[in-house]
Structure 1
C-alpha cells in the first residue's frame, strides 16, 4: 500500500472547513440522556453473548498545572490528596463493571489517559492496576497492548521502571513544542532534558512503542521554530508522532481564553508548518497513518494499515477492531455492542452514582442499522483511504449506488478536484486527498448539517 501524502495548498485552502475527527460514528454529540444504566446493561448482555476481547480506558483527570491550549476534561490542582477519593470511587467502578463482563474475555488493550495519569503516586497506580487484574482478565505475559500517557515533567527514571513493572508496554509523551516563547505563551515549561530522559528510560525499560505528541498552531509558532522542535525530536526517533492541529475554541474551553488571539499563527503560517511537518517526517522514513498520525514503517499501526486491519476508536487509531471498549472514570466514553455510552462529566455526579452503587453512565446512543452502515464506510475510509463497494453491499445487504446516490453525487465534485478516484467498484483516496480525509468522510455523515459549528477546522 502507498502510505505517502501530497501537499496541495490550493485543495487544502478550498476544503479547510469545520468537521469531526471521527473517533466514532455517530460522534459523541449524538449521545443523549435517554440512554442510561438500564440500556448499558442490555448492551453488556449482548456483548457477553457475542464474546471477544475487551479494551479498557481509564480517565485520570488531575493535572498539577494548566496548559492554556488544553481541551481535555481535567481537574487542575497541586493538592495530591484530591486523588484519594477519586481513586476509591474508580476502584469501586472497576469492581462493578468487572462483575458485569464475562471474566473469560481477555483484555487485549488498556489505556490510561487524562489529565496526567502519573499524578497518582506508585502505590495508587499499583492499587488501580491490582484492582483491574482482580476484576478483569488482564494478560500476564506482556502480550496485551497496555499504554499510558505521561507528562515528562511528572515522570522520572523510577516512575518509568514502575510503570513497566505494572504492565505498561507502550507510552505516549506530551511535548507540544520546545520553543521557550511558545511554552511560556501556553503555560507549559518543559525542557529537552526532561523529555528525552523519559524517552530513553522507556526504551531502557523495554517499552515496545514510544509516541511523541506535538501541536501546531499554538501562539508564537512559526515554521522555523516548529521545525527546530521537530528536528530535535527526530534525532531520538520515536516510533510514532501525533501532531495535532490546535483548535482555538475559547467559547467552549475556558483555559484557552488565557491565550492572546493576536499571537496565534495565521492560517497561512499553519499551512506552512503542516507542509514542513509532512516533508520532514516523510524524509525521515515515517509513513502517514492519517488524521495527524505518523509512524515508522514497521510500527504496528503502519503494518495494520497495509494489511487492512487498522481501526479507529475514542483513543485514536488502533489495531483492535474486535474489542468492545469499556470506559472507566469521570467523562470516559465506551463502545459496547452497538452502542456508545459516557460516564458523568462532573466529579460530584460521578461520586454520587458510585456511592449509591450505580454505574455512572449518564448518556449514550443506540446505533441503528443506518448508523452501523455509515460507521463501516467512514471507518474504512479514514483508516485505509479506500473503499470497495461490494464488501459493504455484502455485509449490509444494500445496493451501494442506490443507497448512497446523493453522497456519490457529492463525491463526484471531489473527484473532479483530485481528492479521490471514483468508479463503479469503489473509492480510492488520492495522495493529495489524504490530508482531507475528514472532508470525504463528512459526505457520509447524516448528522453533520446541524452540528458543523461545534467542530474544529479539518486543517
Structure 2
C-alpha cells in the first residue's frame, strides 16, 4: 500500500514539461526574423501542423487553455480570414510540400465552428500543405455539446482518424462546480456518431483534482467511461492557477480534494484501467493493449509534443493561429496571445510571433533526458552519453545525488546503464524530472509560476 500522507509532501509547484525549456523561458528577443531562421535550419524534418481555434461559447472554470468567449459569428469568420493570411504568408518561408505526419485541431472548441466553416479552414490548409502521409495522425478536440453529423462528414472527408472528447467527469455535482454540463447519454451519442464514420481511435480527457471530487465519485465516473470504452484515455491532474486564469477564481479552493485524496484517485484509476485492458503510457495516458501508443511505449519509442503523445518520428511542428506554439529540433516559437496583435502583424505582412527560444546544446541534452523519462519512465544512459559526448554521472552529479531520496523510497533505480522509474514512481515523474531542469536549479522557482505536481 502507498502511504499517501507521505506522498502528499511532494505536492509542490512544478512544470508539466510539454516543452523544455518551459514556456516561462520563452522571450521576446526571439521574433519573426528568429522564427524564419529557425524554419530554414529545420528543413530536414517532416511536418506536424497544429491549428488553434480559440472560440468557446461559455467558460469552463477548470480550463487552462487560451480561449476567446463569444457568441458572435462574425468574430469567428474574421478569424478564419486571418488564419488564411497566416497560411499564405508562411508559404513564403517554408517548403510546404514536405511530408505531414501529424495534424491537430485544438482550442477553444474547434467544433464551435459549423461544418461549412470547418470545411473552409481545412480547404485553405490543404491548398498549401497537401502532402499528408498515408498513415498521418489527423485529430481534432471535440466538445460533445457542440458536435453534429454535418461536422463529422467534413472531418471524415479530410481524413480525420482520431477524435478526443472532453469529458472531465460525469458527476453532476462536479459538473456544476466547473460549469461544464454534459450527460453520459450526450457523450455516448457523440462517440457513436464518430464510430459511424469509421473513427477507430477515440480518446477521452478526464481530470482528477476537480472541486467536489472524491474517490467514490470518480469510481462512478470510471464505471461510466468503461461502458463506452474509448481506445485511449488522458487522465490529467487539475492545474489550479487562478493567478493566471481568471475563470479559475470562480472555483472555491476549499472544494478541491486534498493531495492524498488526489493520489488515491490516481492509484485507483491506474488499477481500474489496467484491470480493464488498458496500459499506462507515460505519466497520464492509458491505451488499450493493441493500440500503437502502447506498442511504441514497449519499444521505448514514445514521443511527446504539444499535441500529446505520439508514435511518429521527430517532426517540425508548425503552429497556426493565435497563441499556437511551434517546435523544431532547436527552437520553440509562439504566436501572439492577444488576438488583436496577432491580426495586426498579419495586416502588416509579418509572421505573428510574440516570443520563443533557441535551444542551446545543454537545453537539447536536458530536453532529451526529461522527455524520455516523461514518455517511457526509463532512460538509456549509454545512448545519451554516445549521442551528446558526455560522462552522464559526472555531468549530472548533483541531479543524481538529489534523486537518492526517490531511490531510497523504491520509486527509482539508477544503474550504470539506465534510470528506471517504477510503476508507483510514475505518479511523481514530474517531481523526478525536475531534478534535471537547469532553469529550476538556478532560480528555485516560486509558487506563483507553476501548478502543483500532486
Per the normalisation by structure 1, the TM-score is 0.95
Say whether residues 1:137 and 2:114 are aligned partners: no
What displacement does 1:100 show? 2.0
**1:42-76 deviation per Cα after TM superposition (whole angstroms, max 9, x unaligned):** 1111112xx23100000000001111111110011
What displacement does 1:383 show? 1.1
In structure 2, do the counterparts of structure 1 residues 455 and 191 end up closer, same or farther at CA, with 3 Å as the change threshold? same
Q: Find the aligned partners of 2:435 and 2:90 in 1 and give their Cα distance.
A: 37
Residue 180 (structure 1) aligned to one of 172, 184, 188: 172
For 1:417, the equivalent position in structure 2 comes to: 409
Say whether residues 1:309 and 2:301 are aligned partners: yes
Residue 423 (structure 2) aligned to one of 402, 420, 431: 431
Q: Find the aligned partners of 1:367 and 1:249 in 2 and give their Cα distance.
A: 27
Q: Find the aligned partners of 1:259 and 1:136 in 2 and give their Cα distance.
A: 42
Number of matched pairs = 451
For 1:338, the equivalent position in structure 2 comes to: 330
Is 1:80–1:119's contact at 8 Å kept on the other side of the alignment?
Answer: no
**1:263-312 deviation per Cα after TM superposition (whole angstroms, max 9, x unaligned):** 22233322232222112111111111122211111112111111221111
Say whether residues 1:95 and 2:85 are aligned partners: no
Q: Find the aligned partners of 2:354 and 2:163 in 1 and give their Cα distance.
A: 30
Is 1:160–1:198's contact at 8 Å kept on the other side of the alignment?
Answer: no
Give 4+ residue runs of structure 1 displaced > 6 Å after superposition.
Answer: none
Is 1:382–1:437's contact at 8 Å kept on the other side of the alignment?
Answer: yes
What displacement does 1:140 show? 7.2
For 2:397, the equivalent position in structure 1 comes to: 405
Is 1:19–1:452's contact at 8 Å kept on the other side of the alignment?
Answer: no
What displacement does 1:8 show? 5.5
Is 1:387–1:428's contact at 8 Å kept on the other side of the alignment?
Answer: yes
Give the root-mean-square deviation of aligned CA atoms.
1.6
Q: Find the aligned partners of 1:10 and 1:319 in 2 and give their Cα distance.
A: 36
1:195-206 → structure 2 map (5 Å cutoff): 195-206=187-198
Q: Find the aligned partners of 2:133 and 2:359 in 1 and give their Cα distance.
A: 34
Unmatched 5+ stretches in structure 1 = 1-5
What displacement does 1:393 show? 1.0
For 2:25, the equivalent position in structure 1 comes to: 30
Q: Find the aligned partners of 2:85 and 2:123 in 1 and give their Cα distance.
A: 13
Q: Find the aligned partners of 2:322 and 2:2 in 1 and give their Cα distance.
A: 39
Q: Find the aligned partners of 2:56 and 2:213 in 1 and give their Cα distance.
A: 24
**1:83-138 deviation per Cα after TM superposition (whole angstroms, max 9, x unaligned):** 01111001111122233222331111000000000111112111111111111133
For 1:84, the equivalent position in structure 2 comes to: 77
Is 2:106–2:140's contact at 8 Å kept on the other side of the alignment?
Answer: yes
Say whether residues 1:109 and 2:102 are aligned partners: yes
**1:164-210 deviation per Cα after TM superposition (whole angstroms, max 9, x unaligned):** 12221100001111111211111111111111111111112111310
For 1:40, the equivalent position in structure 2 comes to: 35
Residue 447 (structure 1) aligned to one of 431, 436, 439: 439
Say whether residues 1:244 and 2:268 are aligned partners: no
Q: Find the aligned partners of 2:373 and 2:329 in 1 and give their Cα distance.
A: 22
Say whether residues 1:324 and 2:316 are aligned partners: yes
What displacement does 1:452 show? 4.7
Is 1:150–1:174's contact at 8 Å kept on the other side of the alignment?
Answer: yes
What displacement does 1:258 show? 1.1
What displacement does 1:7 show? 5.3
Is 1:56–1:107's contact at 8 Å kept on the other side of the alignment?
Answer: yes
Is 1:226–1:273's contact at 8 Å kept on the other side of the alignment?
Answer: yes
For 1:359, the equivalent position in structure 2 comes to: 351
Residue 49 (structure 2) aligned to one of 53, 56, 64: 56
Which stretch has the larger CA shift, 341-350 or 129-138? 129-138
Per the normalisation by structure 2, the TM-score is 0.96
1:154 match: secondary structure: coil
Is 1:290–1:435's contact at 8 Å kept on the other side of the alignment?
Answer: no
1:279 match: secondary structure: helix
For 1:3, the equivalent position in structure 2 comes to: none
1:150-161 → structure 2 map (5 Å cutoff): 150-161=142-153
Q: Find the aligned partners of 2:79 and 2:330 in 1 and give their Cα distance.
A: 29
Is 1:331–1:342's contact at 8 Å kept on the other side of the alignment?
Answer: yes
In structure 2, do the counterparts of structure 1 residues 7 and 321 end up closer, same or farther at CA, with 3 Å as the change threshold? farther
For 2:382, the equivalent position in structure 1 comes to: 390
Q: Find the aligned partners of 1:223 and 1:70 in 2 and give their Cα distance.
A: 22
2:87 match: secondary structure: helix
For 2:16, the equivalent position in structure 1 comes to: 21
What displacement does 1:413 show? 2.6
Q: Find the aligned partners of 1:8 and 1:328 in 2 and give their Cα distance.
A: 45
1:207 match: secondary structure: coil
Unmatched 5+ stretches in structure 2 = none
In structure 2, do the counterparts of structure 1 residues 305 and 8 end up closer, same or farther at CA, with 3 Å as the change threshold? farther
Is 1:53–1:108's contact at 8 Å kept on the other side of the alignment?
Answer: yes
What displacement does 1:419 show? 1.4
